[in-house]
Structure 1
């Protein structure tokens, strides 16, 4: 019976409930009745029904079982402490796992010089496209003042707190955390720089992300507090610079990318958004001009002395807005649309790039 329960994973932590100490007791009756007692991490766990269904399904599949009942209990403070230590170690002060030398998570910071270039839409669609390829993906909505990622991703769940550890909700196969999940309604966030830094630090250190392949951060526009904090907290993060074809927007985007000279971050490339609008007759209209993305890529290449590629040009499509408002990203809801095809291509290239060995421990010793 324990072997069957080992196939049941906690829907938030994504590890077997037997490994997490969540199985309190299992009793088997003579008539094929099985009674399972489960420890929930917190009282009022939002996914208790999901756990009940998964436990019932797993145990019912065992030969000879005719009826399954599931009873829920709640972990004690000591059990929650043991769970946190099992997942995060015994250190009292949580560390940022993505900043550790041995981290295999690729971190991308989606940046722009100005607002209105579609940075959040790109972040969400890239994340969902990567998750659709079977990768474990997380998104940090680092735009504290202008948070919009939860709506676009379709994330309606709330984080679960287990002692000092936060379990993020997931939507469309992507784990996500945002300040919107901690503020009532549409309440504005009125914070100064130090509070922004602390919030970002908590999103990275206190949240239990598990083993991520890729972490995307949707940064606010410009080169202010958050951009500086990200460079301090995640020195190995790579920048994705987003611009539109408009030359004025391109000039501003160059500044956002040029911050890499001061922070010593690598620029993964430039993405040009709203490149053109495809008309019913098949022709293209360029409402924002042309060439901005390549201009930014060329300028940054000269500035940093290394090649900065133009990763792609995403066409302007009103359906990107509609699917974002509905919480159904276009890469999965309308995958054959030109915008979705280009976004998926960019996501595939970003998620299949070779990883460098700089800063990583190698299992070698002198001869």
Structure 2
């Protein structure tokens, strides 16, 4: 018995429930279904997605494929192609910054690997295909230039600082503007002015994500950011032991107090897997951040073990190299994926109101 014939309209109707991972609105409403063809048992579909959702392209392709196979009559052979869609960011905060999501990476205390996670998050999103900027707002202890191997000073063109380009990642840091070894001794108003200038007077261009490496603890810069721009949310980094978790809880409370949503928790230094005997050592305990995240009702984005190679690459300024290491890459890729997936789920659950044309 031959398979029941179908037409293009049936395919397009089945696609109406598929949401754009960036906006949460149906692809059909945003003219992102670019081509549909039906030839016998073969169904070919082309959809357009932005670089913002690049980490989720393969997920979306798989979802659309499975949805069509289950929705259409007969055993259809479905092929889904994804083409790039250019959708520039809108200016936010009244300071000329054009970024779709601004994400602060913070911690309750120093020494938990916050900057390593912030840099890795930015590198991972960039490698996935997103347009990413990285602002080192840790004015007192800027370590982002070291982690990326950058020593050059930024230049100014038409009264705008030009961020340093590191493999396509745009980066700016106070560490590039002060001589090595010199301390920055500033009070609150000067910090506010510096962060404002970094956001307003840096030529960031069109960004999908601006990742901000925050100073450790709770203080002035968090207040400054909450006043300057609408932050998408914050990622909190901690280690598994109780004393670090206590400080992480304070950081979460601080972000909540200034109305910055918590996008998730990352557990760094989760364990050490000995390369000599393959035995796992929970040096700082294990799983504490996951349990605390569940207790507080915030997402857990992933864990990063203690790995000598990660430390060596950070010291050598080769943080991008972690994504070429089969032992390190899965941990950082998981964090990037979990973050973007959670953002997409939030948009899907609360998409913008439909326009009058579709009522």
- TM-score scaled by length of structure 1: 0.67
Cα distance in 2 for residues equivalent to 1:94 and 1:161: 21
Cα distance in 2 for residues equivalent to 1:359 and 1:268: 16
SS of structure 1 residue aligned to 2:236: strand
Cα distance in 1 for residues equivalent to 2:352 and 2:339: 24
The reply to whether residue 189 of structure 1 matches residue 184 of structure 2 is yes
Deviations 1:134-177 (A, max 9, x none): 11111000000000101101223322212321111111321100
**Equivalent residue for 1:160?**
155
**Equivalent residue for 2:264?**
269
SS of structure 1 residue aligned to 2:206: coil
Equivalent of residue 242 in structure 2, options 239, 244, 247: 247
**Equivalent residue for 1:59?**
none
**Equivalent residue for 2:71?**
none
Cα distance in 2 for residues equivalent to 1:257 and 1:278: 29
**Equivalent residue for 1:42?**
none
Does the CA-based 8 Å contact 2:313-2:322 persist in structure 1?
no
Cα distance in 2 for residues equivalent to 1:285 and 1:278: 6
Aligned-pair CA distance for 1:292: 2.0
**Equivalent residue for 1:340?**
329
> Does the C-alpha gap of structure 1 residues 361 and 294 become closer, same or farther in structure 2, counting only changes over 3 Å?
closer
Cα distance in 2 for residues equivalent to 1:204 and 1:340: 30
May I ask how many residue pairs the two structures share in their alignment? 265
> Does the C-alpha gap of structure 1 residues 289 and 357 become closer, same or farther in structure 2, counting only changes over 3 Å?
closer
Q: Spell out the pairing of 1:64-79 with structure 2 (5 A cutoff).
A: none
Does the CA-based 8 Å contact 2:214-2:221 persist in structure 1?
yes
Deviations 1:251-308 (A, max 9, x none): 111100111321111110100000000012222100101232123313432xxxxxx1
Deviations 1:208-235 (A, max 9, x none): 1111111110001111111111111223
**Equivalent residue for 2:228?**
233
Segments of structure 1 that go 5 or more residues without pairing to the other structure are: 1-87, 302-307
Aligned-pair CA distance for 1:204: 0.8
RMSD: 2.6
Does the CA-based 8 Å contact 1:130-1:351 persist in structure 2?
no
Cα distance in 1 for residues equivalent to 2:292 and 2:320: 26
SS of structure 2 residue aligned to 1:212: strand
**Equivalent residue for 1:356?**
347
**Equivalent residue for 1:95?**
95
Aligned-pair CA distance for 1:365: 4.6
Q: Bigger relative contact order, structure 1 or 2, given CA contacts below 8 A and separation 6+?
A: 2
**Equivalent residue for 2:299?**
309
Q: Spell out the pairing of 1:1-367 with structure 2 (5 A cutoff).
A: 95-98=95-98, 105-279=100-274, 280-301=276-297, 308-329=298-319, 331-332=321-322, 334-337=324-327, 339-352=328-341, 353-354=343-344, 356=347, 364-365=355-356
Aligned-pair CA distance for 1:331: 4.7
Does the CA-based 8 Å contact 2:301-2:334 persist in structure 1?
no
Does the CA-based 8 Å contact 2:302-2:335 persist in structure 1?
yes
Cα distance in 1 for residues equivalent to 2:325 and 2:242: 30
The list of structure 1 runs, each at least 4 consecutive aligned residues, that deviate by more than 4 angstroms after superposition, is 330-334, 357-363
Deviations 1:296-350 (A, max 9, x none): 313432xxxxxx111101111122111011110165464212x322111211332
Does the CA-based 8 Å contact 1:152-1:324 persist in structure 2?
yes
